[in-house]
Amino acid sequence: MKVAIIGQGYVGLTISAFAAEHFEVVGFDSNLNIVNQLNQGHSHIEGIESSQLGKLIKSGRYRATTQGRDIQGSDIVVIAVPTPLSPDRKPELSFIDAACKTIGQNLLHSALVINESTSFPGTLRNIIKPAIERYSSTQIEHLYAISPERVDPGRGDFNQKNTPRLYSGITSEATEKTRLFYSKFCDNLVEVSSPEVAEAAKLFENTFRQVNIALVNEFAQIAHSLGINVYETLDAANTKPYGFMKFTPSAGVGGHCIPVDPTYLAAVAEEHGAPATFIRRANEVNLEMPEYIVRRVAADNGGTLQGKSVLVVGVAYKPNVADVRETAAELVIQHLRSQGAVVSWHDEVVGSWKSESSAPLQGADITVVVTKHDLVDEKMILASAPYVFDTTGKVKGAKGL
Ligand SMILES: NC(=O)c1ccc[n+]([C@@H]2O[C@H](COP(=O)([O-])OP(=O)(O)OC[C@H]3O[C@@H](n4cnc5c(N)ncnc54)[C@H](O)[C@@H]3O)[C@@H](O)[C@H]2O)c1
């Protein structure tokens, strides 16, 4: 069986590596650099080792391509392309449309098309299926299904194999073929009654995280104003064995999912006349955290940051990954610079970002920890400046939320 995966990023390459243990996989990506790297056996994704990729290439079970025609003859096509927000923060489905074009123009016999890209309910049925049919020069009927991706890059305990996976097809044949495909490399498959339920569940999962992170970020501000330690308070609340789940405060949310997916849900809700007040406000609270943090840092340093050298530690959006998409560090740096601070950043995992490179972990007036990778030494952070503000709760002895 031949499987084509459209998009070879975090989601697409991960699924490619698992599927290639069982099927012939063609990884299609529009980015030639990524494709060249992959074909040379270099993985750009945490969790997929280059050695593993090299073995799959050598065995002939995986190859990457930028050529749409290489997906011809596929029995299954998985869509794993970005679904970001437009500059006016609306769902941006142009990548999905481009993927549909590749599929429509190149799939010349009936196949199962599975969408793994996150989008609002109705995307598979009302957008993907009609688009592929529109781009197709023949009248072939494909099968359509959804199986939202839950991969958490960089995570060791949960992976493709042991993370339960939702799935549903537009027809029962599509549902069954989807089950058979994923059952090769996923132990726990959960069928739901329609693609729309699976699409909505994915958005709700990430909205749940976004709202709870916003709540704890607001609570951190309340606790500080009351002179109470937020971490001790959260640990105390967490002793309740039911009805409570602990989230910890931070500089905000980042990555491709938590800052983005809830806005997809809010957009579709509002389009249908349903309220999304909570979701919208949660997003604002998280986006306001960097400014709050910079205010706290300034207050502790004589009320001004003018001319002070500030080192931001960790610009990736979360520990142990190089991903800087929607990172809260960007807003922290912006606010620091708008206060006249001279800002550099240290992040050896990211290396370079926005034409700047990781600076040494030393010699600053002020250090602000946004993300703490495991490889960064706590003692070195504390020694990097006379004043250290930690937004992660991981650096003992630093000032913090
Ligand atoms: N990253 C995660 O942790 C995660 C988890 C669950 C779901 N998702 C969802 O999965 C989808 C993909 O996310 P990602 O993190 O893998 O993105 P990514 O940016 O890491 O990878 C996407 C890849 O698609 C390629 N691409 C863009 N347009 C294309 C096209 N028309 N044809 C072929 N390739 C194209 C890009 O070059 C890139 O390599 C998104 O909808 C995202 O919300 C991501």
pLDDT tens digit sequence for 194-226? 999 999 999 999 999 999 999 999 999 999 999
Per-residue pLDDT, 276: 96
Read off the pLDDT of residues 131-170 as tens digits, 9 standing for 90 and up: 999 999 888 999 999 999 998 877 789 988 999 999 999 9
Mind listing the pLDDT tens digit for each residue in 70-79? 999 999 999 9
Kindly give the distance from the C-alpha atom of residue 143 to the centroid of ligand 1, in angstroms, as a whole number. 22
Contact, 166 vs 182, CB < 8 A?
no
The pLDDT assigned to 138 comes to: 86
Q: What is the mean pLDDT of the chain?
A: 96
In a mutational test of the pocket of ligand 1, which residue from 34, 135, 149, 155 has the highest number of ligand atoms less than 8 Å from its CB?
Answer: 149
Ligand 1 atom nearest residue 98's Cα: 31
Q: Which ligand 1 atom lies nearest to the CA of residue 11?
A: 16
Identify which of 115, 99, 83 has the alpha carbon closest to the alpha carbon of residue 256: 83
Could you list the active site residues? Answer: 257
Q: Which of 176, 26, 29, 1 is nearest to 98 (CA)?
A: 29
Long-range contacts of 303-307 (CB under 8 A, 24+ apart): 304/339, 304/340, 305/336, 305/339, 305/340, 305/341, 305/366, 306/339, 306/340, 306/341, 307/340, 307/341, 307/342
Residue whose pair of structure tokens reads 């955290």 in the numeric block: 289
118 lines ligand 1 (CB under 6 A): yes
The pLDDT, as a whole number, for residue 46 is: 83
Q: Indicate if the alpha-carbon torsion angle 323, 326, 327, 330 is positive or negative.
A: positive
Share of the chain above pLDDT 90, in %: 95
What pTM does this model have?
0.93
Residue type, 330: E
| Per-residue model confidence as pLDDT tens digits over 44-78 | 988 899 999 999 999 999 999 999 999 999 999 99
Minimum CA distance residue for ligand 1 atom 24 = 7
